[in-house]
Amino acid sequence: MVRRDKSNYIIQSVAHALDVLEEFRGEMDELGVTELSKKLKLHKNNVFRILATLQSRNYIEQNRTNDNYRLGIKCLELGQTFIHQRGLLKQAQPILSELAESSAETSYISIIRGNEVVYLDAVETTSTVRVVSRVGLHMPVHATAAGKALIAFDSEEELRRRFHSELPRFTKNTITSSEEILNVLGVVREKEYAIDQEEFEDGLCCIASPVRDYTRKVIAALSVSGPAHRLSIDRIEQSVGPEVLRCAKMLSIRLGYRE
């Protein structure tokens, strides 16, 4: 079906009401009927009735001393509902499942706390060889894919502040040079996903991609981890890497991110 544009179905009176509501976004937090009427080219009686309707639901309230109108508490509640419903873990759940299935590895959602990655949730792989779950663990930023994805888009100043000396080693693959990690992060920024090839734990590889929200900032990392023998460079670059990136972008959109 070729869908008609939804603008064909707009209800004019509702749109006018939204016009009124949106006038309160400006620098003036209190507005009068006449002022709104002039700004919106609506008759005063119309503005009054729209305000009365919005006021009846507490989206708008009236300052009794000067008769001006301002936003009401319902606006705050609506915003809080948005935040609640669009919460990270809730929105991540279906995407973690999808990623675990499509990659056949364990998927994770993690955040940054100081210099550590915190794994918040996971969906296990169905493969026969499993790795130990990381949920609840704190891990070093520089030696994990999730950590790299979480910080890759920080400012250069912030990154230099974070990496100014030799980094702790965990395996023979761990990157311990600040200079080298900064280079790797440049690659992460280009590819939009990060890799950990047995840098934190022998035999374990991870791929992670940044997740953003309505603030447009990286707020989490979506990642997949599995044994090195299953996660070859080929498989990472041809299949799992782009899949993690795709899922991370999907999650970002669900969290209100707009490119």
Partner DNA sequence: TACATATATTCTATAACATGAAAGCGTGTC
Partner DNA sequence: GACACGCTTTCATGTTATAGAATATATGTA
Residues near a second copy, by CB under 8 A: 6-7, 9-11, 13-15, 17-18, 21-22, 24-25, 27, 29, 48-50, 52-57, 59, 70-73, 75-83, 85-86, 90, 111, 113, 118, 214-215, 256, 258
Site for DNA in 182-221 (CB under 7 A): none
CB atoms within 10 A of CB 115: 12
Q: Rule CB under 7 A: is residue 6 a binding residue for DNA?
A: yes
- From the list a second copy, DNA, none, pick the one residue 180 interacts with, judged by a Cβ distance below 5 to 8 Å according to partner type: none
Residue closer to a second copy (CB basis): 2 or 129: 2
Residue closer to DNA (CB basis): 50 or 206: 50
- From the list a second copy, DNA, none, pick the one residue 42 interacts with, judged by a Cβ distance below 5 to 8 Å according to partner type: DNA
Q: Rule CB under 7 A: is residue 63 a binding residue for DNA?
A: no
> Among 128, 121, 133, 131, which Cα is nearest to 96's?
121
**Tokens 């899949």 -> residue:** 243
The site that binds DNA (CB under 7 A) totals a number of residues, namely 28
Q: Are the C-beta atoms of residues 37 and 44 closer than 8 Å to each other? A: yes
- CB-based contacts of 51-60 (< 8 A; 24+ apart in sequence): 51/20, 53/17, 54/17, 54/20, 54/21, 59/21, 60/21, 60/24
CB atoms within 10 A of CB 196: 28
> Among 247, 209, 204, 225, which Cα is nearest to 125's?
225
Contacts to DNA by CB under 7 A: 1-4, 6, 8-9, 11-13, 16, 32-35, 37, 42-46, 48-51, 62, 67-68
